[in-house]
Amino acid sequence: MQDLHFETIYEKFRKPIFRLCRGYVNDDDLAKDLVQETFIAVFQQLPKFRQEASVGTWVYRIASNICLKQINLEKRMPKSEIPVSLKDNDTLHEKIENEKMTDFLYQCISELPETERIIISMELENVKQAEIAEILGISAGNVRIKIHRIKEKLTEKFRHYGNRI
């Protein structure tokens, strides 16, 4: 039996949903607004939730729809500069400070096409691929292929990023 208390849902999903929104818009304040909008919708829709899907799938569906709805956000979205001025160190992982690495990952994700941003965010939150397929309304096979391609793209960008510093 799933725990359907709003408090429990908020506590469990607020951080993953923030990261999903943050990856989508690459801006802290905009992401917080989207998180707020998501949980307001969760709060309002909770009495109608019939448990046909897991509560996680349901919350992710609402959050991803709210992200996708921000159609013209792109124009307002601050595309922060990729941090390049890092000091020389012995190896790549030593060179790149954690925070900058995280910034770079979020920057890369926000530059992907909309659906890919959502897919990779959920993959990185360990959402099962079958659930991601259910949330998007596409086949699990398709999700697997897309995840593979996205990770290739990200790896390529990280390698390129490593070479630049």
Partner 1 sequence: METEYNFEEIWKQRETRLPDIETIKSKAQSFRKKQLWSSVYLTFCLLLSFGTIIWVWYSFPDLHFMTKSGMVFALSALMLYIFQNFQKIKIINKINPALNNQEYLKQLKILQQKDLYMQTKGTSIYYILLSLGMALYLYEFAERMSVFWGIFAYFITFGWILFGWFYIRPRKIRNQQEKISDVIRSLEKIENEFKD
Q: Please give the residue ranges that form the binding site for partner 1 (CB under 8 A).
A: 6-7, 10-11, 14-15, 18-19, 22-23, 28, 31-32, 35-36, 39-41, 43-45, 49, 58, 61-62, 64-66, 68-69, 71-72, 98-99, 101-102, 105-106, 113-116, 118, 121, 124-126, 134-138, 146-148, 151-152, 154-155, 158
Q: How far is the CB of 31 from partner 1 (least distance, A)?
A: 8
Which residue, 10 or 86, is less far from partner 1 as judged by CB? Answer: 10
Report which DSSP code applies to 126: T
Q: How far is the CB of 87 from partner 1 (least distance, A)?
A: 19
26's tokens: 């690459």
The answer to whether the beta carbons of residues 43 and 13 sit under 8 Å apart is: no
Q: How far is the CB of 10 from partner 1 (least distance, A)?
A: 5
Question: H or E element: which one contains 85?
Answer: none
Neighbour count for residue 70 (Cβ, 10 Å): 18
Which residue, 85 or 91, is less far from partner 1 as judged by CB? Answer: 91
Q: How far is the CB of 45 from partner 1 (least distance, A)?
A: 6
- Please state, in angstroms and as integers, the Cα–Cα distance from residue 58 to each residue in 11, 35, 132, 150, following that order: 15, 15, 11, 24
Neighbour count for residue 165 (Cβ, 10 Å): 15
